[in-house]
Amino acid sequence: MPAPATTLVPTHGDWQPRNWLIDDGVVRVIDFGRFALRPAASDLPRLAAQQWRERPELEAAFFAGYGPDPRDPDLWRLDALREAVGTACWAFKVRDEAFEQQGHRMLTEALDAYDGS
């Protein structure tokens, strides 16, 4: 089955608070090493796995400023799974045990989302 067509937009690739600076009330973004054209939702899995996981009000606040949520429910599960595998593998490679454990948690949660479908 072919993948559905999707719109590609400029994405950061590591969209999370450690790459945001507040300068006189203006959010500025740093570290564009993973910049690429991708689906808009591809910048959201790290936020969902970290900041939004325990504080859903941050998700609502994010979309209040960002605009409409670009996530497609079916594709979102795949995005979460891809990000989980990438997180666990990269963290293992660089020997970051805490981040690797986060990747394993993300993997468990991503796979659980498939069980609930």
Tokens describing residue 3: 């993948």
Q: Are 47 and 15 in contact (CB under 8 A)?
A: yes
User: What would the mean pLDDT of 95-117 be, rounded to a whole number?
Assistant: 90
CA neighbours within 13 Å on the CB side: how many for 25?
Answer: 0
Mean of the pLDDT values across residues 65-70?
94
Span 11-19, average pLDDT: 91
**3-class secondary structure, 1:** coil
Give the global pTM. Answer: 0.81
Per-residue pLDDT at 100 exceeds 90: yes
With H, G, I as helix, E, B as strand and everything else as coil, classify residue 54.
helix
Q: What is the pLDDT of residue 75?
A: 87
Q: Strand 9-11 to strand 26-29: parallel, antiparallel, or no bridges (unpaired)?
A: unpaired
